[in-house]
A = this chain, B = another copy of it.
Amino acid sequence: MPRIVGERKDALKGIAEVFRVHGFDGASLSLISEATGFGKGSLYHFFPGGKEEMAEAVLSDIDHWFEQQMFAPLRESGRPREAIGDMIANVERYFQSGQRICLVGAFALSDVRDRFASRIADYFTAWRQALSYALQRAGHAVAHADALAEDAVAGIQGALVASRAFNDRAVFARVLAAIAARLLAEPA
């Protein structure tokens, strides 16, 4: 008997989770089918382009979420220092203290990087720019703000790798705290 009628967006969260845990290559359609509750037929109905189209949709979804929850506040807040503090707290929550990795970062490190290169670069570029702009409004010179922002965005990825490597979420907390301290230090 057919399940309740669904739509494309209902599958996205489950697909994202499978890509996050198993990577693009390791994300088999069986796993995706299990995680979403949709059969292969339905999945190909929603995503005729197969896994590639699923990954595009997931990356687009993540981009949208970060834009709204992380980047826009950094760009628009009247209290830039506060917005930076909120970003750190959001990072801690979103990545679950390092227990959950960054799908975009993992793709960047893997052999599918070239296939999704522009989406990956856009995500990181938007983050760096939004953070740099907040730092500038907080009183930093442009060049210094750019450097700090780039260092922080990279540092967060490093914190994720390291906390998984050490298998210790405390590592994530400590490295993130060090990044926060650099971002929130008084402008020279």
Where the two chains meet, the residues of A that have a C-beta atom closer than 8 Å to any C-beta of B are 21-23, 25-26, 101, 104-106, 108-111, 113, 117, 120-121, 123-125, 147, 150-151, 153-162, 164-167, 171, 174-175, 178
Q: Taking CB as reference atom, which chain B residue is nearest A117?
A: B167
Copies of this protein chain in the complex? 2
CB-based nearest B residue for A104? B165
- Given the known interface contacts A23-B23, A106-B110, A110-B23, the answer about A162 and B166 at a Cβ–Cβ threshold of 8 Å is no
| Complex-state Cα separation, A117 to B104, whole angstroms | 23
Within the complex, what minimum Cβ distance (angstroms) separates A70 from chain B? 16
Neighbouring B residues of A104 by C-beta, 8 Å: 165
The answer to whether A108 touches B147 (Cβ under 8 A) is no
B residues in contact with A101, CB < 8 Å: 109
In the complex, what distance in Å separates the CA atom of A164 from the CA atom of B108?
A: 6
Known: A108-B162, A113-B165, A150-B174. 18 other contacts (CB 8 A): A22-B111, A23-B111, A105-B161, A105-B165, A106-B109, A110-B110, A113-B167, A120-B165, A121-B166, A124-B162, A151-B174, A151-B175, A154-B161, A154-B162, A155-B155, A156-B158, A158-B159, A158-B161
